[in-house]
Amino acid sequence: MSTPPSNSPRRAKHATRRTRTRSATESSIRKHRIFLVEGHPVTREGLISLINREDDLEVCGAVGSPAEAISNIQSTRPDMMITDMSIPGRNGIEFLKDIHAVLPALPILVLSMHDETFYAERALRSGARGYLMKEASPEKLMEVIRSVLIGGSFVSPQISARLVDAAIGRRPRGSNSPIEKLSDREFEVFQHIGNGKSTKEIAGTLHLSPKTVDVHRGRIKQKLQIRDAISLLHHAVRWVETQCPQG
């Protein structure tokens, strides 16, 4: 008949101590707090689940509109914000500028389905530190989140090449759409026109006078070589429908 080893209680005690030490170490890891702005509930819940699975990340707030973000983001004290460009009630570029004005040191990552050719550079100029398409893998998303959290930035290789071209005065490669000639403000006005807003409504949204909006309309028509207001409306609506998928 065999007898149990004399050191079994000691081994059990050491195993318990190791378990406690590991648990204490894991609980002491400070998780980076992510504030999420995503207008689609299913996508928002999916991102929450994905981020919260990570040992070093957690979602500290998740809202579906810019108004909710402005109201809650400061009280949640996030380390980073992730937002889409298509959110109800506010133009994506305007929203980035709003957040950057309130929290200029907050790292912002744009996660969007919108064509990066038209939006990435504008998002970076408006305060974002990264622009990632939603088609990216979960692994890539986590990699980019951690890079932005430690002070890095991210754009695709194609956009990076365009930024370098612009910096050295070379003609940017890629899309040659005349819409790229529009300034950020003209681009915002153009989007609002495409969403069917009147001059008065655009003026109220952008806090401009109707006369200033009309000036922007004139410059847009000139840059896009459009002759009249009806043609501008049709062009803007068509562009919004084809270039700005909801997502």
Q: Which helix (H) or strand (E) holds 185?
A: helix 184-194
Is the confidence at residue 170, as pLDDT, over 90? no
Quote the CA–CA distance of 47 and 90 in Å, as a whole number: 21
More confident residue, 159 or 220: 220
In order of their start, the domains of the chain are: 30-167 (3.40.50.2300), 178-243 (1.10.10.10)
The string of pLDDT tens digits covering residues 132-160 is 999 999 999 999 999 999 999 998 878 87
145 in Cβ contact with 132 (< 8 Å): no
Count, in order, helices (H) and strands (E) of the chain: 11, 7
Surface-to-core class of residue 185, CB atoms within 10 Å of its CB (0-12 exposed, 13-18 middle, 19+ buried): middle
Does the reported pTM lie above 0.75? no
Q: Which helix (H) or strand (E) holds 199?
A: helix 199-206
Quote the CA–CA distance of 172 and 118 in Å, as a whole number: 12
Supply the pLDDT for residue 178. 81
Lowest pLDDT segment from 70-74, 83-87, 101-105, 135-139: 83-87
Is the confidence at residue 188, as pLDDT, over 90? no
Is the confidence at residue 83, as pLDDT, over 90? yes
Quote the CA–CA distance of 34 and 76 in Å, as a whole number: 9
